[in-house]
Amino acid sequence: MAGLLFGTGGIPLSTAKPKNLLNGIRRIAELGLGCTEMEFVYGVRMTEADAAQVATSAQKYHVKLTAHAPYYINLNAHENDKLVASQERLLQTAHIASLCGASSVAFHAAFYLLDPPEEVYPRMKKILTGLLTEIKRRHYFITLRPELMGKPSQFGSLEELLNLCSEVEGLAPCIDFAHLHARAGKVNSYYEFVSVLKQIEKKLGRLALDNMHIHLSGIKYNPKAGELSHLNVRESDLKYTDLLMALKEQGAQGMVICESPNLEEDALHLQETFNKV
């Protein structure tokens, strides 16, 4: 993917009625943004026919697509029915996202549920290896991207993601820098952001920096619980200008999906700031 594209996590707030995905894609193009993340976070409620229309619209307006799977996924669920349902939700998202022409699916992988992290990791590796085998068998042309999570109770630290993606073919990370800041209580300077990008390149190769999927917003957090809520970037202590400078100087490419409450306002501000730094 050439360059770093900026867009919204969901349909822009200023989209004309009816506020559906097709109009949202057109609005992204009108705003001068380059991408959007389709939010299937409360379930995948899109038919194959509708997905084909989305793909046509995205091609027409030159908008790159990605997707976010439902929140109701826990690949460390202790009950078998919940574990099976979680896997089915991820497969269903991969299916529809692939038909839409999306490049990847971001998802929240798991909660530890008081299990030791060192026991959860091999379960994630085994389950995701199986899911990717099934995705390949079904010819869904999609990359799965476990998200870097903002709470210490959730699977998805930077180290876990980099190890997992280096060991499982077909996985790539979704790097949420706001979550990283909230989870660690630091990682909030130019040099720390550069260090993270260099860790990604060292562990996953240059291709990982050439095809990034980034989530970005302001963040409210505390040291014990981690992430509490998303904020607009200028209402948060996240040093996003330092981050954008690090991304530019390291030659990062891919998508920056803005998850601020004001969506396109911050997406445009981030894009403008990136172009200026």
CATH of the domain at 12: 3.20.20.150
The angle, 0 to 180 degrees and rounded to 10, between the axes of the packed helices 158-167 and 117-137 is 40
Instruction: Report the C-alpha gap between 176 and 257 in whole angstroms.
Output: 9
| Residue closest to 28 by CA, chosen among 60, 76, 4, 72 | 60
Model pTM?
A: 0.96
Across the chain, which has 277 residues, the per-10-residue mean pLDDT values are 89 96 98 98 96 98 98 96 98 98 97 96 98 97 97 96 97 98 90 98 97 97 93 97 98 98 98 96
What integer pLDDT is reported at residue 2 of this predicted model?
64
Angle at 76 between CA 73 and CA 77, to 5 degrees: 70
CA dist list (Å): 42 to 38, 68, 87, 145, 186: 11, 10, 15, 18, 31
What integer pLDDT is reported at residue 185 of this predicted model?
78
Torsions phi, psi of 8, nearest 5? -110, 150
Are 50 and 58 contacting, i.e. CB atoms less than 8 angstroms apart? no
pLDDT one-digit tens code per residue, 162-184: 999 999 999 999 999 999 999 87
Domain that holds residue 102: 4-276
DSSP assignment of 194-240 equals HHHHHHHHHHH-HHHHHSEEEEE-EEEEETTTEEEEEE-GGGSS--H
Task: Give the pair of three-digit tokens for residue 241.
Answer: 């200008």
**Which neighbouring-strand residues pair with 231?**
218
What integer pLDDT is reported at residue 218 of this predicted model?
97
How many domains in the chain?
1
Return the DSSP state at 149.
Answer: P
Task: Give the pair of three-digit tokens for residue 110.
Answer: 């798991």
Task: Give the pair of three-digit tokens for residue 141.
Answer: 């042309």
Are 144 and 94 contacting, i.e. CB atoms less than 8 angstroms apart? yes
Are 222 and 233 contacting, i.e. CB atoms less than 8 angstroms apart? no
